[in-house]
């Protein structure tokens, strides 16, 4: 790969390292992710929940190292698409790019639905009509798409505001929860923190640990968004990669702290009884009215921030694919004033709205199934990116022990873990869900089907513009 990637017209030096770090952390949506996943993890791992959070961090760190080294060689906003195309061939690169775009489209309805739901909850309406929630969700997508369209600097400032509010509330919650658990009148089910909580054996047998691990891995997803704005970041070869690695460590610290605080305050039994939203069970009922409202605000800002940062990587991947001649050139258009991928941003925002409304009209159960499906394309393109790092640096691996570990062993191990998670999740989800599609559970059908849908689209792109698919591996 060349040390410098040809510019695509995006605004150079628009983002600092801090802005890039904020984008990476906020894309993981810490409050929203914990609200929807902590109960499920606690139901399986009980007091071993913090240990599961730590274990799930390890493969994400390994994949983040792969992103760091690949970005150092080629800071291209297409990330997985560009790197996989140059190391494993244009066809695999195309599918990797499609997987990233599909992932962000599939996840959009859940984020918009949460943003819409919590917009009403913030003002005391706990069970708003489904139509109102849908309209609010559509409004959130439209507004945040417009912010992304106007430019990356406004997007970054918006992210800093939303993440600042979210983190402040979560840290206050953690402090209040621990104080309440250690107070003179702790709530029923509370417990004092123990070192055993950080021991994986506390999570139960291997099957229990694996089940909780599968859920925990996916709440780290999103940190790679910072790499998609590498061409707009100062020091593009180094800063985005460092921000990606740093964001995984920040997420680890935040998730472990909040898991410890929640388990200490409420105990795993209460958390597991409220899998859909653990904060609803330990917010106002346990901590009081204003603390409950703060948690609602945290989840709302988290979902809004994630909705915005979902649009950013998908649009820039489409931009990179168009610049390479892999999809129609229209997706490569740059707005002359805002220097953003204008058409790609608006197109993906529109597709997200159609997908969200369509799933909502079809069935809420199908909407829930699509949320479960999201892990499949995530692990797919993460695995490809990890393997791409090993292939690209294959001639360096035996030069020094450091090169072998950081460019080969860790990225390769992360890729293998992601590949195994893809297989394991596919088998698990094939027998779950609200309905069966061709005899396969809806989550697996949506997840695998979204990847398979890329194959005919790739063949169509190849027929229309074969030049990209004739390029050689490097």
Q: pLDDT, tens digit, for every residue of 23-38?
A: 999 999 899 888 888 9
For the residues 118-139, what does the mean pLDDT come to?
88
What φ, ψ does residue 62 adopt, rounded to 5°? -60, -45
376 close to 424: Cβ distance less than 8 angstroms: no
Strand partners, 440: 437
Read off the pLDDT of residues 247-302 as tens digits, 9 standing for 90 and up: 999 999 999 999 999 999 988 988 888 777 788 777 776 667 777 788 888 889 99
Query: Which ranges constitute the DSSP H helices of 273-400?
Result: 278-282, 284-287, 289-323, 342-362, 364-373, 375-392
CA distance 247 to 305: 15
What φ, ψ does residue 324 adopt, rounded to 5°? -85, -5
CA distance 239 to 71: 9
| CA-closest candidate to residue 91, choices 422, 389, 454 | 454
Q: Which residues contact 98 (CB under 8 A, 6 or more apart)?
A: 451, 454, 457, 458
In angstroms, what is the C-alpha Rg of the chain? 21
Task: Look up the pTM and report it.
Answer: 0.92
Q: Where are the domains of the chain?
A: 17-470
pLDDT more than 90, % of the chain:
60
CA distance 312 to 145: 9
CA angle in degrees (0–180, nearest 5) for 262-56-412: 170
Correct CATH for 17-470 of 1.20.1740.10, 3.40.50.300, 3.40.190.10, 1.10.246.90: 1.20.1740.10
Q: Which two tokens stand for residue 85?
A: 């195309």
Read off the pLDDT of residues 364-399 as tens digits, 9 standing for 90 and up: 777 777 777 888 999 999 999 999 999 999 999 999
Q: Which two tokens stand for residue 66?
A: 């792969």
């Amino acid at each position: 790969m060349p040390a410098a990637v040809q510019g695509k017209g995006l605004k150079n030096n628009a983002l600092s390292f801090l802005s890039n770090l904020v984008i990476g952390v906020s894309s993981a949506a810490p409050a929203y992710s914990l609200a929807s996943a902590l109960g499920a993890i606690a139901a399986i791992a009980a007091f071993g929940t913090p240990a599961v959070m730590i274990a799930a961090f390890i493969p994400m760190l390994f994949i983040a190292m792969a992103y760091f080294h690949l970005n150092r060689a080629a800071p291209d906003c297409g990330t997985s698409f560009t790197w996989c195309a140059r190391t494993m061939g244009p066809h695999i690169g195309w599918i990797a790019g499609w997987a990233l775009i599909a992932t962000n489209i599939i996840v959009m309805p859940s984020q918009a639905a949460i943003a819409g739901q919590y917009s009403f909850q913030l003002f005391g309406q706990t069970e708003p009509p489904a139509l109102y929630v849908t309209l609010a969700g559509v409004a959130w997508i439209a507004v945040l798409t417009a912010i992304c369209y106007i430019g990356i600097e406004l997007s970054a400032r918006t992210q800093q505001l939303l993440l600042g509010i979210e983190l402040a509330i979560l840290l206050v919650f953690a402090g209040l929860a621990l104080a309440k658990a250690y107070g003179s009148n702790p709530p029923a089910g509370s417990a004092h923190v123990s070192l055993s909580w950080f021991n994986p054996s506390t999570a139960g047998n291997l099957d229990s640990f694996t089940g909780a691990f599968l859920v925990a891995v996916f709440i780290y997803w999103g940190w790679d968004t910072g790499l998609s704005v590498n061409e707009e970041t100062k020091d593009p070869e180094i800063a985005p990669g460092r921000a990606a690695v740093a964001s995984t460590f920040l997420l680890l610290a935040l998730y472990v702290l909040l898991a410890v605080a929640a388990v200490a305050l409420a105990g795993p039994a209460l958390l597991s009884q409220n899998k859909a939203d653990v904060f609803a069970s330990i917010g106002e009922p346990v901590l009081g009215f204003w603390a409950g409202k703060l948690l609602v605000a945290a989840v709302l800002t988290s979902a809004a921030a994630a909705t915005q940062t979902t649009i950013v990587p998908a649009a820039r991947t489409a931009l990179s694919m168009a610049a390479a001649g892999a999809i129609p050139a229209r997706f490569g258009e740059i707005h002359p004033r805002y220097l953003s991928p204008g058409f790609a941003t608006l197109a993906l925002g529109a597709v997200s709205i159609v997908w969200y409304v369509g799933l909502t009209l079809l069935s809420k159960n199908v909407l829930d199934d699509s949320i479960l499906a999201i892990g499949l394309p995530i692990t797919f393109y993460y695995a490809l990116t990890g393997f791409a790092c090993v292939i690209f640096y294959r001639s360096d691996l035996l030069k020094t022990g450091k090169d072998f570990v950081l460019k080969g062993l860790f990225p390769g191990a992360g890729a293998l873990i992601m590949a195994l998670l893809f297989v394991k999740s596919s088998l698990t989800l094939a027998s779950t869900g609200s309905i069966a599609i061709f005899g396969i559970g809806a989550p697996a059908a949506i997840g695998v089907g979204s990847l398979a849908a890329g194959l005919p689209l790739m063949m169509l792109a190849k027929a229309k513009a074969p030049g990209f698919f004739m390029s050689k591996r490097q």
